[in-house]
Chain A
């Protein structure tokens, strides 16, 4: 009964209710869309990190992590890879030899991470091969091919088929040089990655640094779904319990390798809630003001209800329901607009090319695909209910203070 009256009451003054409903819906739409945008950015960053650089899980020799020294290797990687592949959720496993060195052209040089890879297996593990913008991903038979990032190519003032000299240490600490020809140029959304990573064939790098065939520095595990990461990590820990116990191996997930990205995602989530709360607090003042006007316009009617025997709880309840319906109507409208806008933007993307340079430097994509968890809409609704309750407290208190004898005689 109270809720039915409350629902009818909000349509008494359609213009006023329409204005507050519009402000709630637009406020929430703005908030939810901004959150979806930030969320999309953070998720794309994580996806790029997983799909192009780290994959989901990596295995190393713990000593290697201290100073990226190639000498600290994983023994018999092939056998380990076979064991890893037996885990159901594993999509692909590759191994990499890693060496820090200097990539030089005739004009300048730059410190780089030299990744020795098996291109065929790497293609199944990461999507880096899809980011080739010129040439190929170590596909032809020529020796000493190298794939470099576009940013590095520009810095070294080189181009496709140019020669680049890699200066690096062998594992017995001798400086060595090797000439490579650029046969592929890649471009990701992360310019830092592009300028500091080069890719050569694993076998050739091992020969240069004198590393034995049955050794590697990095085993990279790609999973069928990122949600399996923790589960597979546990399985790997069980599988290589002995090696881990003997400090020959360490298993790390992508967020342990690059915690800053995970932190950005978590901060984005926390910021989302703070953002929504700020919007709702601002809206709550508008809602309170509207409800106060409603109460002050209906002094005589509320007085009559109190006079005839409506108790305080029911009277406050009626005002709460009215506030709730007003807020929820606005919130539903805002959610519908948000769902529509986010669905469209998730398909078309939002092109930020004019400012992409700055975005790419931080590893963000220049085209953002907003996305938001469905549960977030429910959280927003929950917050709206809380807001409506809080916004109704003052108007309800005001109404409860009316003296029914005076209120029924008030001029309308």
Chain B
């Protein structure tokens, strides 16, 4: 069952002297439980495409329908709320809040969603158990390694119970061991919880683990391998 449907998506940047087409008429669908890597050379439009999927960037043309909602038609306020309840983000630079503990970083999203303290407490423990960091829940991010911080970021993305998780180069700042570890956790979550992951990556290790590979070039999908 398709949870994301992308139709004729175009993104043109007009900021410079010459308009730049970053995404050029993408048509694609993502199904629940997919583990997809979007790959391609630098500047091929991976991040732009991912940003539009996440509602962070506005398409110039085309539409993105997530669970029957055309997010390109949502107003700014509605889009923020949509992101909060439907999309999980994992960033290259982890982007944890340094003044909060691991637990608070994960809890934070749930607090934005208005989830009760009791439920948050339970869910934080479950998520930290899943990413193998339950014993570090009261540590600040600066006490953790890069790999551990990215695992916290995954737990934070899952905290909102999103429909899918978008991860932009999640392993770019990690060593091989941490990357393996992170990918194993994500795969496990994908299998056991049916969490949908969509990555934009250069990393061969991620590509190898992916069950679907979308190859982008000049803003177009040139290959869609399952």
Residues of A within 8 A of B (CB): 1, 5, 8-9, 11-12, 300-301, 303-304, 306-312, 314, 403-405, 408-409, 412
Contact = CB atoms under 8 A, between A and B. Distances in A.
26 contacts: A1-B108, A1-B111, A5-B99, A5-B108, A8-B99, A300-B95, A304-B91, A306-B80, A307-B56, A307-B83, A308-B84, A308-B89, A309-B80, A309-B112, A309-B113, A309-B160, A311-B81, A312-B77, A403-B56, A405-B51, A405-B56, A405-B57, A408-B168, A409-B91, A409-B93, A412-B93
Which 4 pairs from chain A and chain B are nearest by CB? A309-B84, A8-B99, A405-B56, A304-B95
Interface of B: 47, 51, 54, 56-57, 77, 80-81, 83-85, 89, 91-93, 95, 97-100, 108-109, 111-113, 156, 160, 168
A311 B77 contact: yes
* Interface of A (DSSP majority class): helix
Nearest to A313: B77
A314 B112 contact: yes
Contact of A307 (B89, B92, B98): B89
B91 A408 contact: yes
Contacts of A310: 80, 84, 112
A300 B93 contact: yes
Contacts, number: 69
B82 to A, nearest CB: 8
A219 to B, nearest CB: 71
A5 B112 CA distance: 13
B139 to A, nearest CB: 15
A406 B48 CA distance: 10
Contact of A409 (B85, B92, B112, B160): B92
Given A300-B93, A309-B113, 8 more contacts: A5-B108, A303-B95, A308-B83, A308-B160, A309-B80, A311-B81, A408-B89, A408-B93
Nearest to A8: B99
B64 to A, nearest CB: 14
Contacts of B168: 408-409
A309 B81 contact: yes
B10 to A, nearest CB: 16
Nearest to B111: A1
Given A9-B99, A12-B99, A405-B51, A309 B109 contact: yes
Nearest to A304: B95
Contacts of B111: 1
Contacts of A12: 98-99
Given A307-B54, A308-B160, A5 B84 contact: no
A289 B92 CA distance: 30
A308 B55 CA distance: 10
A11 B54 CA distance: 33
Given A306-B80, A409-B92, A5 B100 contact: yes
